[in-house]
Amino acid sequence: MYDAHKTQMAQEIAQIPEVVSRQLAIGMPLYRETGKRLQMLEPTLFVTNARGSSDHAAMYFKYIMELKTGIPVASMGPSLGSIFNAPLKLKNTVCLTVS
**Position 1 pLDDT exceeds 60:** no
Read off the pLDDT band of 2 (50, 70, 90). low
93 in Cβ contact with 47 (< 8 Å): yes
| Max Cα–Cα distance, the chain, nearest Å | 51
Query: pTM of the entire structure?
Result: 0.72
**88 φ, ψ (degrees, to nearest 5):** -75, 145
